[in-house]
Amino acid sequence: MPQNAFLLGWVGRNQWRKQPWLLYKVIHYLRAGACLVCGHCGKVSLFDWDPSRQVHLHEIPQVLESRPGCKSTACLHCGAPDVQKAEPLSDAYLWLHIAEEPEQDWPAAWLEQQFGLKRGRDIHYTEGFELKAALAPTDMPALYNLWDGLLYLTGGEGFGMPAWEAMSSGIPVVYTNYSSHAEFLGRANGGLPVGGILQPERGACIWRMVADVLQVIEAVRKLSFNRELGAALGRNGRAFTERFTPEIQVERWHEIFQRLRR
């Protein structure tokens, strides 16, 4: 991995509601440059403008090469004609702090094969991390600080501890704008939110968000090309979490109890 690598991290379990398959898809599009970018508004679109035509993943490079410059098609977002094939972000990598599980929903080997990714080249995993062999809590800040940002495309959380830990470590978060983690990230201005579609989780029927891949690509490209933006968002997140240290929280509760006694 080069010194100037743009490294995105993920912390979480391999569960349906976590939607880890999106991480593999996003890093594939970024590293392959398998999307179209408008030179006017900077918005990203997929390769196939005709919704009636289905193009398989392995055909993306051929489709893009067959339409050099894409000058004949206007941007779907702003209408400008300046649409180009995205330059591959060959310095973008994905690091997953995730354990293989017996009943995992998204086997990593399958996802690597589907999206043409290779361990040690495009993606990396925390060595030795298993369900019963994790990093110590004191070692987690060092892991977060290896990354330029947390790619947190979870479908929904009760709280979202990895997002809070990333903020506390001073790194920006690209996150699904849904459920509890989105609330404190939004209040802190600690990252870039992305939308998506809601889909009920099997069995529980709880609504979960499936992130919009194009919005994720736009957010990651923004952080990659503007490192100072990521640093500023990281500082925002760190300053926000520092307002909730145990000492400050104890004092707040003490004040509440004192008011109730009066």
pLDDT, tens digit, 9 for 90 and up, residues 35-68 = 888 888 888 887 644 434 444 444 444 444 444 4
Looking at residue 66, its pLDDT comes to: 42
- Residue 20 in tokens: 């880890």
**Distance between start and end Cα atoms, the chain:** 61
Beta bridge partners of 191: 173
- Around 111, how many Cα atoms within 13 Å sit in the side-chain half-sphere? 21
Domains along the sequence of the chain with CATH: 6-31+91-261 (3.40.50.2000), 34-86 (no CATH)
Looking at residue 233, its pLDDT comes to: 98
List Cβ neighbours of 163 (8 Å cut-off, separation of 6 or more).
150, 152, 157, 173, 175, 181, 184, 185, 191
Residue stretches of the chain with pLDDT short of 70? 47-73
Looking at residue 73, its pLDDT comes to: 60
- Residue 221 in tokens: 């490209």
pTM: 0.86
| Helix and strand counts by DSSP (H, E) for the chain | 9, 11
